[in-house]
Amino acid sequence: MKKPFVTDEKLKEITATIPTPFHLYDEKGIRENTKAVKQAFSWNPGFKEYFAVKANPNPTLIKIMGEYGCGCDCSSLTELMLADAMGFSKDQIMFSSNVTPKEEYILADKLGGIINLDDFTHIDFLEETLGAIPEVISCRFNPGGLFKMSNGIMDNPGDSKYGMTTEQLFEAFRVLKAKGAREFGIHAFLASNTVTNEYYPMLAKILFELAVKLQKETGCHIKFINLSGGVGIPYQPDETPNDILAIGEGVHKVYDEILVPAKMGDVSLCTEMGRFMTGPYGCLVTKATHEKHIYKEYIGCDASAVDLLRPAMYGAYHHITVMGKEDQPCDHKYDVTGALCENNDKFAVDRMLPKIEPGDLLVIHDTGAHGYSMGYNYNGKLKSAEVLLKEDQSFEVIRRAETPKDYFATLDGTSEYKKMFPNG
């Protein structure tokens, strides 16, 4: 059974000063996990984790991981601006985007970040935009077909909009080298949220064999190989968490089998994990506000899909703990909902939980990645606060909740705004 990283007593202390809903993060868990990732790949001297900013763009959390040498994986102009504002630069930034506008390539180059090209046609576009191809460049690979692991996990790269085909990748390296690139990287992302220690070693084998062939046939020096993300977390209570130390050793074994004999033992490895880095170390704290008894039993909360979109968007499972009732039997079946005018605004469907009464605090687990970051303002709902539970058990707001003033701010200066708010 999943247990929250915060006690009922501590949560009542927090909610006495910070109104629900809010996302709560576990500083101790993030630090310990980041150290474990660093240890798992310590055998590779050039290893670097580029935290996927898209997963959680909170500067406080990113700076914590930065203390252990993590960089930023950015995918947009504002994410690049955020990384820059936090002091990240040059090889601390990996820029992996698609359908990329000129201004994003310009800023990535200005910051000295490593550009990871998603498409063959972007080579000429990048050269025209920057005036020259950077000396260090990466390309994203899509092998097509299906990617299947022995434990039944399958993804379909052939149906993905990302990356280059095998033929395009080889031609891209030749063209980029002719245009002045001197050092190359390979990147691939083939499966999402894998809860298995097999994924990274299997992906590494594909990319290592590809790297040997690329370097031999194109003469391009492979400087780094980026395993991207895909290492997942156990959203379901009966799932076994990944063992990052075992994963690191599995990649090490493949590295020694393939790259070292090919005299490519100087290749650095990168990862771009988001979910694994912060996912389990965040939760959405919400209060039960209403109960409804019609064809089903409903519990209404003050949080909604604007605070956590994954259940509405994917039907994703997030475990729920009713605080203070952890030891009570789960003998009531509920749909746990928000207040949006959409019937998919549900955190749980037909979920067996203890009896819930208005005023009970609910902890919705595993929202530390792709939680707050996927929020929006439908129905005029305002995004909630983010709170850090520190190692010493004190807490602080690391992003305030939005206010109606924030909601209307983008109208400021328009004639309609002036009519609506003549006094500013």
Residues 6+ apart with CB under 8 A from 418: none
Contact 142, 156 (CB under 8 A): no
Tokens matching residue 131: 């005036």
For residue 19, cis peptide bond before it (omega within 30 degrees of 0)? no
- Tell me the backbone φ, ψ of residue 324, rounded to 5 degrees: 85, -10
- Tell me the backbone φ, ψ of residue 380, rounded to 5 degrees: 70, 15
The number of C-alpha atoms within 13 Å of 384 and in the hemisphere containing its C-beta is 25
Q: Which residues pair with 282 in a beta bridge?
A: 25
Q: How many CB atoms lie within 10 A of CB 258?
A: 18
**In whole angstroms, what is the distance from residue 418 CA to residue 176 CA?**
52
Reported as type and span, the H/E element at residue 205 is helix 199-218
Distance of CA 265 to the CA centre of its chain: 29
Q: Which residues pair with 320 in a beta bridge?
A: 364
**In whole angstroms, what is the distance from residue 110 CA to residue 127 CA?**
14
Which residue of the set 70, 74, 330, 341 is catalytic?
341
Distance of CA 312 to the CA centre of its chain: 18
The number of C-alpha atoms within 13 Å of 74 and in the hemisphere containing its C-beta is 32
Report the number of secondary-structure helices (H) and strands (E) in the chain.
13, 19
Tokens matching residue 275: 């979910």
The number of C-alpha atoms within 13 Å of 160 and in the hemisphere containing its C-beta is 24
330 is catalytic: no
**In whole angstroms, what is the distance from residue 323 CA to residue 333 CA?**
17
Q: Residues 382-397, buried b or exposed e (16+ Cβ, 10 A)?
A: ebbbbbbbeeeeebee
Residues catalogued as catalytic = 341
